[in-house]
Amino acid sequence: MAGLVTVEWVDVNGIHARNSVYTPDVVGALGVVTHLKALSNARIISALYSIPLDLTTLPANVAVAANVETARSKALVIMSADPSAAGLPRPKVNFQIPAPIGTLINGLSGDKTNADIVALLTDIVTNRGETLNLVDNIIYAR
């Protein structure tokens, strides 16, 4: 059964953001937090997966004033997988990364081959526990 990990962020301007994704277990939740932090200039101030996750080992967990991005700017990531059977819809997950790093966003679209984005494919599942295998798109939104 998939569990929900909720991450709260703050940028250098003190603007807060919150997002949630499903993950198969606590190991996946820790992976989600690690990879999301690597993709954002904001600082993670809390992460919950039924219990608070330990952020003390999270590398470089500081808010950075880079790209003039704030937590209001988002990278919208869309992931999916092949349908489990003919006629069924594709499992799909959308989530946002506040204050995305500059190398994640290239013009109007994002870098779908970014190592941290690709690693999230194994850590994020649908709310029904379906695994994902494709980064469909990364859209920059302000």
If one counts every other C-beta atom within 10 angstroms of the C-beta of residue 81, the result is 17
Give the pLDDT of residue 106.
67
| 3-class secondary structure per residue, 44-87 | EEEEEECEECCCCCCCCCCCCCCCCCCCCCEEEEEEECCCCCCC
Tens digits of residue pLDDT in 56-106: 888 889 888 776 667 788 889 999 999 888 888 999 999 999 988 888 876
Calculate what percentage of the chain has a pLDDT beyond 70: 96
Average pLDDT, the chain: 89
- Reading the block at residue 95, the tokens are 């989530």
- Reading the block at residue 68, the tokens are 């003039």
The dihedral region occupied by 63, where left means phi > 0, alpha psi between -120 and 50, and beta the remainder, is beta
Radius of gyration (C-alpha) of the chain in whole angstroms: 15
pTM, two decimals, is 0.88
* Residue of 78, 84, 56, 73 lying closest to 124 (CA atoms): 78
Give the pLDDT of residue 72.
80
**Sequence ranges of the domains in the chain:** 3-141
Give the pLDDT of residue 69.
67
Does the pLDDT of residue 127 top 80, yes or no? yes
What length is written for the chain? 142
* Residue of 79, 35, 65, 29 lying closest to 50 (CA atoms): 29
Calculate what percentage of the chain has a pLDDT beyond 90: 61
Does the pLDDT of residue 50 top 90, yes or no? no
Does the pLDDT of residue 139 top 70, yes or no? yes
Question: Within 13 Å, how many C-alpha atoms sit on residue 75's CB side?
Answer: 29
Consecutive H or E run containing 27: helix 26-38
